[in-house]
Amino acid sequence: MRPVWVLLGDSLTQRSFEPSGWGASLVNAYSRSIDVQCRGYSGYNSRWVLGLLPTILPLDKPGPPPQLLILCLGANDACLPDRSSAKQHVPLEEFKANLAAIVQHARRLGVANILVLTPGPVHEPTRLTHALQTRGLALESAERTAAVSGAYAAAAAEVAHSLSLPSINLWTGFSQRPGWETELLCDGLHFSSAGQTLVGDWVREAIAAHFPTLTPQALPWEGPDHTDIDGERWEACLASGGGKHP
């Protein structure tokens, strides 16, 4: 049975399986070795994901635990409590506690490898335009701000560090790129095709740096390479086990 990797988060994770998505890039890179599962819940905050966690990652599930968990939350927790998406807001300290609780649950399940992605930045003018064009809402202020999203990104990185986990600060990484507002985001919040590609690159680099035994080259293929199969002895070749990444 192939090992399983779980991508857990909100719409930044749900959308990762778009054609250019960062999750889809993992599926492509590990197509012969890993089952990459998307558990992204659009609109969810850390409180709701934590509440659903016994269903997502049940502790009594038979079989081996996920080999890797990639956790990306905070984009919705950072919604402001006095604006249009108030129900999604989670106070910063609760967000940190929820994130830690999710990690502890995964560790109880036996997940040994966990990577944390922080939320990315927000471009407020584009969020206002998006609300008007898609929902007909003429908002005076965006439901999120770049500064508050940055605080939640820093908090996610802080929790990861306190739990000895590697993290990727998407807020910082995006913000340092000229033109990120329109080149890396499609609606002021979610990743554009270029943004998805960049996140995918960073995730694969982080896996190589922090989990070197989980690179595509380090993992065995399911089934031998076709060039190693003898047409007359194909059954024995298949029974011999997995192949190696070329």
Q: List, for residues 118-156, the tens digit of each pLDDT value.
A: 999 999 888 888 778 887 766 767 778 999 999 999 999
Distance CA 6, CA 71 (A): 8
Whole-number CA gyration radius for the chain: 20
Confidence of residue 49 (pLDDT cuts 50, 70, 90): very high
Confidence of residue 245 (pLDDT cuts 50, 70, 90): low
Q: What is the pLDDT of residue 234?
A: 86
Q: Catalogue the E-assigned strands of the chain.
A: 4-9, 35-40, 68-72, 114-117, 167-168
pLDDT digits (tens, 9 = 90+) for 54-74: 999 999 989 999 999 999 999
Residue 172 has pLDDT above 80, yes or no: yes
Q: What is the pLDDT of residue 243?
A: 66
**Percentages (nearest 5) of helix, strand, coil residues in the chain:** 45, 10, 45
pLDDT digits (tens, 9 = 90+) for 75-106: 999 999 987 688 999 999 999 999 999 999 99
Confidence of residue 174 (pLDDT cuts 50, 70, 90): very high
Catalytic (active-site) positions: 11
Provide the token pair at 50.
């934590």
For residues 68 and 133, the answer to whether their CB atoms sit within 8 Å is no
Q: What is the pLDDT of residue 226?
A: 83
> In this predicted model, which residue has the larger pLDDT, 50 or 130?
50
Confidence of residue 242 (pLDDT cuts 50, 70, 90): low
Which whole number is the average pLDDT over 155-173?
99
User: Assign residue 18 a region: left if phi > 0, alpha if psi is -120 to 50, beta otherwise?
Assistant: beta
Q: How many helices (H) and strands (E) does the chain have?
A: 10, 5
Q: What is the pLDDT of residue 222?
A: 78
Q: What is the pLDDT of residue 238?
A: 79
Exposed e or buried b per residue across 13-33, where buried means at least 16 C-beta atoms within 10 angstroms of its C-beta: bbbbbeebbbbbbbbebbebb
Q: Which domains does the chain have, with CATH numbers?
A: 4-215 (3.40.50.1110)
Average pLDDT, the chain: 93
If you search the block for the tokens 């659009």, which residue do you land on? 42
Q: What is the pLDDT of residue 132?
A: 81
